[in-house]
Structure 1
């Protein structure tokens, strides 16, 4: 494990089209001033997957100037065009294809992407999460390829296990995927979707694995002001600081303890 401190900015649910302009400018200023080692964006870059929303969001991401990986959220699938949703659901991301679902390999750390969106589900609410066998197997293969001693973080849009937040993810296959990732040595799963931050430690077969959620930089607030998470990794350990656009000081997210999975 590398001896220096690695800093990751974990941001989610910016929702260009309903973005909070002050919040996205604040985040951009902090990235330029503090130069984190990477930015992890866990989905919902746009509100309705319109071309102009992607253009604004992608220009913002490109302007950050640090290594960035981006997950696809349910709002990033075409909303008004069912043909595009089924046959070319991600084509509007092509301008920054190199950022999309790309693993990040930092000193002593691996960021593994995992898709939890679906172009179709056998239920009415398609905004909820779904872990397919294929996406799980791809994530497991990457996680298991990490050198011994590497901290592995999985980045996806939907929480795999329901957090204690006002919004829900109802991710099908989520708990089983979380257990499989834990057995593969994953240290934490980074998510978004619910617009409120959390840091919950789950036990899986005696192994402690954290599920960490970022808030939102959009106008679609729930219980928390516009925010993102700063993850600091040093000496094989990590903590998560909640950074909010408010008068309140930044604080380490409390690690909740959950029942064994």
Structure 2
């Protein structure tokens, strides 16, 4: 069995220290095979926030892969956002969009952030052709017997019952392409509430799995993360909420 901890929206700068301590202690005590963080490490992409996130993630005693979130792009410096949007990641950069090959699971990154959009709200998601192409190619190159899990920040398709929307441009087409390529699930964050939804698109089945937050920016759910178990090609999800 392969165990993964899926966590999201740490929001250093508005993090919940008790929740961070709880998650770190759980990782240290239970030693999952990997931690997948689906974005928004910071609140305002400040260097000090990234430094705090780096110290925290580097202390986790298991492999970690991180997706950029919309809060991780420069907020107050438009020139830096346009030309060097990921410069401030610093030591975290080595974890960003890091594919993972585990005994029975392949983790594939899919970037859904954009430095600029022809839309009013730049927090919404975008799947570019190049990002989708890389993800599909990684899925095709992975072990045929593996469960393929894609990690993104924004949900590719909005869930009407959630309090927040991702409005991911190209998301539905991307979900269809990933399903056809053989992906079993897409992990995401952004909405700060967990969900687990099955989709069937043109005969191909795929799951969308969202994680909550470890920050003070709560919506309907207390601080939480997802424990994902993969055994004999079957994927199960348990939402673990702070006591």
- TM-score if structure 1 supplies the norm length? 0.92
TM superposition shift of 1:97:
2.2
TM superposition shift of 1:95:
1.2
Aligned mate of 1:210, from 202, 207, 213: 207
Counterpart for residue 81 of structure 1:
77
Counterpart for residue 171 of structure 2:
174
TM superposition shift of 1:96:
2.6
Counterpart for residue 8 of structure 1:
4
- Structure 2 unmatched ranges of 5 or more: none
Counterpart for residue 31 of structure 1:
27
Counterpart for residue 223 of structure 1:
220
Counterpart-to-counterpart distance in 2, 1:24 and 1:71: 18
Equivalent runs, 1:60-99 vs 2, <5 Å? 60-99=56-95
Counterpart-to-counterpart distance in 2, 1:219 and 1:184: 37
Counterpart for residue 102 of structure 1:
98
1:160-209 deviations in Å (ceiling 9; x for gaps): 01123111100000000000000000000000000000000000122221
SS of the aligned residue for 1:180 comes to helix
SS of the aligned residue for 2:42 comes to coil
Equivalent runs, 1:239-254 vs 2, <5 Å? 239-246=236-243
Counterpart-to-counterpart distance in 2, 1:194 and 1:96: 22
In the alignment, structure 1 residue 151 sits paired with structure 2 residue 147: yes
- TM-score if structure 2 supplies the norm length? 0.98
Taking only aligned residues, the RMSD between alpha carbons, in angstroms, comes to 0.7
TM superposition shift of 1:150:
1.2
